[in-house]
Amino acid sequence: MTESSKGGRRVSPHPSSTDALSAYEAFMAEQTLTFPSLKDSEGDGFPPVSLVFDQQPQVSQHTLWLNYWIANVAVFDQHPQVLPGLMARVYRMYPSLVREHHLYLLLEEHGRFDLVLRERKLDANGVDYLVLQDGRAYGVQAYVDTPRSRMFRTRKRTRHKALGQTIELPLDMEGAEKVGPFAVYGHQHLDHIWSIVGGGAEQKAA
Spell out the SS3 assignment of the chain. CCCEEECCEEECCCHHHHHHHHHHHHHHHCCCCCCCCCCCCCCCCCCCHHHHHHHCCCCCHHHHHHHHHHHCHHHHCCCHHHHHHHHHHHHHHHHHHHHHHHHHHHHHHHCCCCEEECCHHHHHHCCCEEEEECCEEEEEEEEECCHHHHHHHHHHHHHCCCCCEEEEEEECCCCCEEECCEEECCHHHHHHHHHHHHHHHHHHHC
pTM: 0.83
Query: Which of 2-16, 112-126, 144-158 shows the highest mean pLDDT?
Result: 112-126
Give the Cα separation of 206 and 201 in Å (integer): 9
CA dihedral 17, 192, 166, 117 (to 10 degrees): 0
> How much is the pLDDT for 199?
64
Confidence of residue 66 (pLDDT cuts 50, 70, 90): very high
Report the pLDDT value the prediction gives residue 204, as an integer from 0 to 100. Answer: 47
- Assign 149 a pLDDT band (cuts: 50, 70, 90): low
The whole-chain average pLDDT of the chain stands at 83
Cβ atoms 181, 33 nearer than 8 A: yes
Q: Is residue 89 pLDDT above 50, yes or no?
A: yes
Judge contact between 193 and 111, C-beta under 8 A.
no
CA-closest candidate to residue 184, choices 44, 31, 14, 79: 31
Q: Which of 3-17, 92-106, 178-192 has the lowest mean pLDDT?
A: 3-17
